[in-house]
Amino acid sequence: MAEYKLIYFNFRARAEIVRWIFKQGDIPFTDERINREDWPEKKNTIPGGKLPVLIVKEYTLPQSLAIARFAAKKAKLVPENDLEAAFIDALADTIYEIMTEFYKIRMSEKTEEEKKKAQKEEFLPKFVLPVMEKLEKRLTGREWYVSDNLTWGDLALGVFFSDLKLFDLDNLAKYPALKAHYEKVTSLPRIKEWLETRPKTEA
C-alpha cells in the first residue's frame, strides 16, 4: 500500500500541484477522490473538515500548500538554498491568491455573463496579467524558475498555466519565455504521462 494518501474531490484545483509533485518524484500515492454526495458524511471524519488532506501514517495533514511543500521535500524538488526555497513559497502563495480571486468570482451569485465580464475586466488585468508579465521577465534567459534545476516552483507554474483556458486565455503566444518553460515542464516524461492519463475533470 502507498505510504501517502491524498484525499480531495474529483477536481484538479487545490490538489493538482501535489499530484504533479508526487508523479515527478516517482513517489507512489493513493489519489482518493470523494464524490460530492459522500462529502457531508466524510467531512465529519476529516479534522478541520476541508480538503485536500494528506494521510501519512496516523497523521492527517491539511492545507494544500503545506502538503505540496512536504511532498516536494520528499521528491527532492525543494532547493537547499533557503532563499531560493522561499522564492518558490512566494510564487506558490501568489498563484494561490490568484486562484482564490478566481474562485470568488466563480462561486459568487453573479450570472454566467456577469462572471465572464468580471473575469475579463477585473480579474485578468488586476491579478493575472501583471504576474504573467513579471514571470516572462523572470524566465527570459533562464532554464528554470530558481537555481539550475527543476523545482516544485516549475511544477506550480506548469499546473497554473495548464489551466489558462479556465480564465478564457487559451495560449501563451504573447509570452515566449513562459511558453518555452511551460513546454519544457509538460514534456517531462512523468508529467507528460500524468497529463495523458489523469482523470478528465471540469476544473
Ligand X SMILES: N[C@@H](CCC(=O)N[C@@H](CS)C(=O)NCC(=O)O)C(=O)O
Sites of contact with ligand X (CB under 6 A): 13-14, 43, 49-52, 63-64
54 vs 135, which CB is nearer to ligand X? 54
| Residue/partner pairs of 85-88 with CB below 8 Å, 24 or more apart | 87/145, 87/146, 87/153, 88/145, 88/146, 88/151, 88/152, 88/153, 88/156
The CB-of-64 to ligand X minimum distance in angstroms stands at 4
7 vs 178, which CB is nearer to ligand X? 7
The CB-of-192 to ligand X minimum distance in angstroms stands at 26
46 vs 131, which CB is nearer to ligand X? 46
The CB-of-59 to ligand X minimum distance in angstroms stands at 16
DSSP annotation of 15: G
Cell matching residue 92: 506558490
Closest CA to 154 of 167, 170, 166, 138: 138
The CB-of-7 to ligand X minimum distance in angstroms stands at 10
Closest CA to 96 of 203, 15, 19: 15
The CB-of-202 to ligand X minimum distance in angstroms stands at 14
Closest CA to 78 of 138, 154, 140: 154
Q: Are 162 and 192 in contact (CB under 8 A)?
A: no
63 vs 94, which CB is nearer to ligand X? 63
95 vs 139, which CB is nearer to ligand X? 95
